[in-house]
Structure 1
Amino acid sequence: MRAFAGLAACCATSLAAAQCPRTGDTVFDSGFEQPPVHAYHVAPGGDDGHDGSAASPWASIQHAVDAVAAGDAICVHAGVYNELVTITRSGSGAAGPIVLQAVPGDAVVIDGTALPIPGGQHGLVTLVDASHVIVRGLELRDYSTASVANVPIGLYVTGAGSDIRVEGNHIHGIRTTASGCAANAFGLKVDGTRAPASIKRLVIAGNEIDHLVLGCSESFSLDGNVEQWTISGNHVHHTNNIGIGAIGFEGVAPDPAFDQARDGVIVGNVVHDVSSYGNPAYGNEYAADGIYVDGGTRITVERNLVHHVDLGIELASEHAGRTTSHVVARSNIIHSGNSSGISLGGYAAGVGGTEHCSVVGNTLLRNDVQGTGSGELQIQYHASDNLVVDNVVYAGPGGVLVHAYTGDTAMPAVLDHNLYWSDAGAAGSTWTWRGSDYDSLAGWRAGSSQDAHSPFADPLFLDLVGPDLRTAPGSPAIDAGVEPDGGLAGSFDYGGDPRVAGGAIDIGAYER
């Protein structure tokens, strides 16, 4: 995608400014190369009969997106806009993207109060079959329904298209007050609904998504024929269902061969205060993941912070005969969850599972605070040929470290070079393997044939209260890991430092 370095700067901060500042005056740098062909303006008190200049702005955002062409930017000035915005036009690689963004420093609100939900499912901002589009710096709020027939969405990308960026937006107050699992709402949703044409080269970065009432849906999800994407630096919090989801096999794409989110990266996000407990679609169940790969493939989940959710990271599939596969979860920090820290395998015998996934170099601390028994690492149904290495697994008072409670596969995972510790102490810690329980590391090794090189020792975190989960000098985690083949450990640790320093890789999310 070709565009201009001064993307944000094209939007003059004053209505009196009639042209774009020089390209170097940037607020967001997205690697763009030239200023927009035209910069049009929208402001309260404007008129759609005007020419859209800074001196004579338009009144509605929808009028602007219907008027612009490839390479143009729409500069929206401070105000509350009670309208739905649907983008069906595309930019181009040659002329540049179509840009919809708030003027830097201006509070631009698209408010959904009392607005309809066309077609039964719609966003406050919706992109349909659009390519080379950027949406940036908007606040999208208060779009709701009380009907199971309607699905409100904060920002919705659907159809097919490429080279889309969604950056620095704040989405909140999207709600369904309908009951049961037919009730749905989403903060941000991407649906690849065509095949073989996909939604691809998609970047969703630096957005805040919070205070949502979702029913059976996700705060933020990619579903269907979506490929070559990056979800980075987003902050998802205070919602009553899944934080970030990458989904497959839901029938979103018309051809099952393409119906799977794939070839993506979920990196550097913060997800917290996410729980389905009390959500009418679930009742009193701790079922909401911070990050959920449900039927996705070839995805990397790395350097995310997930805390005070139900399940931290789950790699599974809800569809019988289908799996999440070839996913790498590495260098993540997961703590203080209501249920398990990391979960592999389907939640029941009648659903799908997890295969060829790798859990490498993560730090899990005091999850399962509700005492569900799922522990720090949970392995459920139809899990096979997975890898779990170099993780710090630190259980709380319940002492459940690994809970692999099903025996339906011969080799759910290979585990080694993990560092185990527990507030319950050696005598109060437990491991479960294919349905058999063990109450000592020696018993666990003998019964499971796993973790031959894994110690039970205090990792010596710098601060358990903060927490600061870097390790102190002398930690048994230092240089105690093993680098798996194929670059599975990645290049960087949780803090962005080189993944290997010293004689060998460290166990856990940080490299000392």
Structure 2
Amino acid sequence: MQRVPSVRRIATLAALSAAALAGAGASTSSASDPSCTRVAAPGGSDSAAGTESAPFATAQRLVDSLGSGDVGCLRQGTYSENVTINHGGSSDSSRVVVKSYDAERATISGRLYVPDRSNYVTIEQLNLDGHDSPTCSAGSTCTRLPSPTVDGDHIVFQDNDVTNRHTAICFNLGAAGYGRAVGDVIQRNRIHDCGRIPSSNHDHGIYLAYSDNTKVLDNVIFDNADRGVQLYPDAQGTLIKGNVIDGNGEGVIFSGAGGSASNDNVVENNVITNSTIRHDVESWYPDIVGTGNVARNNCVHGGAGGAFGSAYGFQIQDNLNVDPHYVDRGGKDFRLAADSPCAGVLAGASVPAQPDFRPDKQEVPPPTTSGGSTTTVTVTQATFGHYRHHRRWRLRVAGRIRGAGGAHVGYVQVRRFGRWQRVGTHRLHRRFRFGVRAARPRLGDAAVTMVRIVVPGLGRSRAVPAGYRR
């Protein structure tokens, strides 16, 4: 699929306010749209033929009528329903397309879902409002389901306005047990006001959960409660390029958990600014640390916690820390002024090699690895004890690091109630022995407590059962 040049498209997109985009095509066009295979319109009938003169009434009936190579068009109006794309196209040249009727703008108000069985689908030129998506199950971290939810492959979202007016995640790509999203493209959209306020730390503009080779291109991503773009826990080979990412809780995060880590993701030629909670670009790898991730040639500025957070699990190369000079940030006009130092960045040019902007803080020092050797972290002993001079339970850990010199920060984790919990942090040398405070271990008929150490940048040890000493 051919990509439209970045600068021209994003300048036009950024100039439109959300209100103007939502109201585009306010008067229904009398001209026909020859691209439409099937048509739906307010006031139509789902028992009709789906033609311009006899349109369907609902978006669901429209998408159910489409096959490979078909284009379904929604006439101006609001379709208050949840829509599932139940089947897709057969190739890039024979896609299923769902779009607004020419010179009009339709709104789907509800959840839009593309399941794993549906591939080669294009959604374009629509307003997608997930405010009234179905509620989440009890005990979930969400209150309403994400929209759009995408588990299919080779799905394209372009030229849409996407929001949920601060109720939930907007884009969610891939889900364990439901499908891995492969080769999807999110381009030239406005993605904004997603997620609950105040922040819950769970609601993002784009959430790449289980995905491969996603492209996030030339979007304006702003005012989302938590991350503008989250790569967690298993996003591989993502390209995030040419976007304006402003005023989110955090801009972009590289992250992982448990046995998964996001790897080989590239964040380049974006303007990432004014994060309201933490950093414009950051990482979080409590277990396995990601590799091959890089943030380069971006303009990054104004984050509440600084431009960059802890720099482990990704490289920082040749970024600029400068005010981008938006035309009217308050009015959500994110075009760059004529004197913007970031114009070349958004155009795809490399920024000067100096000054290279480095992290505001280096929480985990980079490891020094012996040439050609394999680095291993080993726990040789882990013992819970109630020591009289401390008058509390402690976990004593001993072990070694092979293949890496210097000192490294290690996280001590214990497995309780089916999940790993961090109980302490300690600086580790080649051989180490230390104690950390810990809660009373589970005894009797309960499972034996397992212990491991995670060293960001090096890896983690095998889990070992903890001994017990009174």
TM-score of the two chains, using structure 1 as the length reference: 0.54
Shift of 1:365: 3.7
Q: Over residues 417-440 of structure 1, what are the superposed CA-to-partner deviations in whole Å (9 max), with x where a residue is unaligned?
A: xxxxxxxxxxxxxxxx999xxxxx
**Aligned in 2, Cα 1:59/1:233: closer, same or farther, shift over 3 Å?**
same
* Mapped pair 1:193 → 2:171: no
- Report the counterpart of residue 317 of structure 2 in structure 1: 360
CA distance, structure 1, for counterparts of residue 363 and residue 74 of structure 2: 54
CA distance, structure 2, for counterparts of residue 73 and residue 40 of structure 1: 7
Shift of 1:78: 0.4
Over aligned residue pairs, what C-alpha RMSD do you find? 3.2
- Report the counterpart of residue 167 of structure 1 in structure 2: 158
- Name which of 276, 283, 286 aligns with 1:316: 283
SS at match of 1:362: coil
CA distance, structure 2, for counterparts of residue 94 and residue 172 of structure 1: 27
**Aligned in 2, Cα 1:224/1:238: closer, same or farther, shift over 3 Å?**
closer
Q: How does 1:410-489 map to 2 (within 5 A)?
A: 410=368
CA distance, structure 1, for counterparts of residue 266 and residue 60 of structure 2: 36
CA distance, structure 2, for counterparts of residue 264 and residue 406 of structure 1: 24
Matched letter for residue 228 of structure 1: N
Q: How does 1:176-255 map to 2 (within 5 A)?
A: 176=167, 185-193=168-176, 198-214=180-196, 215-248=200-233
Matched letter for residue 390 of structure 1: A
Contact 1:272–1:306 (8 Å) recurs in 2 = yes
Shift of 1:366: 7.8
Shift of 1:105: 2.6
Matched letter for residue 238 of structure 1: D
- Name which of 129, 139, 143 aligns with 2:132: 143
CA distance, structure 2, for counterparts of residue 362 and residue 228 of structure 1: 23
Contact 1:134–1:166 (8 Å) recurs in 2 = yes
SS at match of 1:64: helix
Contact 1:265–1:299 (8 Å) recurs in 2 = yes
- Report the counterpart of residue 325 of structure 1 in structure 2: 291
- Name which of 310, 315, 328 aligns with 1:344: 310
Shift of 1:90: 1.5
CA distance, structure 1, for counterparts of residue 213 and residue 238 of structure 2: 5
* Mapped pair 1:153 → 2:175: no
- Name which of 214, 223, 240 aligns with 1:266: 240
* Mapped pair 1:302 → 2:260: no
Contact 2:182–2:214 (8 Å) recurs in 1 = yes
- Report the counterpart of residue 461 of structure 2 in structure 1: none
| Unmatched 5+ stretches in structure 2 | 3-27, 257-261, 325-351, 370-406, 410-470
CA distance, structure 1, for counterparts of residue 231 and residue 154 of structure 2: 19
SS at match of 1:49: coil
Aligned residues: 305
**Aligned in 2, Cα 1:392/1:45: closer, same or farther, shift over 3 Å?**
same
**Aligned in 2, Cα 1:86/1:402: closer, same or farther, shift over 3 Å?**
closer
- Name which of 321, 341, 361 aligns with 1:403: 361
* Mapped pair 1:125 → 2:112: yes
Shift of 1:91: 0.6
* Mapped pair 1:74 → 2:72: yes
CA distance, structure 1, for counterparts of residue 239 and residue 203 of structure 2: 18
SS at match of 2:97: strand
Higher RCO structure, 1 or 2 (CA under 8 Å, sep 6+): 2
Shift of 1:16: 6.3
| Larger Rg belongs to | 2
Shift of 1:409: 4.3
- Report the counterpart of residue 52 of structure 2 in structure 1: 54
Q: Over residues 94-127 of structure 1, what are the superposed CA-to-partner deviations in whole Å (9 max), with x where a residue is unaligned?
A: 8711111112331211224xxxxxxxxxxx1110
Matched letter for residue 265 of structure 1: L
Contact 1:152–1:175 (8 Å) recurs in 2 = no
- Report the counterpart of residue 38 of structure 2 in structure 1: 40
Matched letter for residue 273 of structure 1: G
TM-score of the two chains, using structure 2 as the length reference: 0.59
Shift of 1:92: 0.5
CA distance, structure 1, for counterparts of residue 53 and residue 308 of structure 2: 55
Quote the sequence identity (%).
Answer: 21
CA distance, structure 2, for counterparts of residue 46 and residue 327 of structure 1: 50
Contact 2:166–2:225 (8 Å) recurs in 1 = no
Q: Over residues 423-462 of structure 1, what are the superposed CA-to-partner deviations in whole Å (9 max), with x where a residue is unaligned?
A: xxxxxxxxxx999xxxxxxxxxxxxxxxxxxxxxxxxxxx
Shift of 1:299: 1.1
CA distance, structure 2, for counterparts of residue 201 and residue 408 of structure 1: 32
| Unmatched 5+ stretches in structure 1 | 3-12, 22-37, 113-123, 177-184, 249-259, 276-288, 346-353, 368-388, 396-400, 412-432, 436-512
- Report the counterpart of residue 251 of structure 2 in structure 1: 290
Shift of 1:306: 1.0
CA distance, structure 2, for counterparts of residue 364 and residue 95 of structure 1: 42
CA distance, structure 1, for counterparts of residue 188 and residue 66 of structure 2: 26
Runs of 4+ off more than 4 Å: 13-16, 144-149, 405-411
SS at match of 2:146: strand
CA distance, structure 2, for counterparts of residue 87 and residue 65 of structure 1: 6
**Aligned in 2, Cα 1:103/1:343: closer, same or farther, shift over 3 Å?**
same
CA distance, structure 1, for counterparts of residue 169 and residue 360 of structure 2: 33
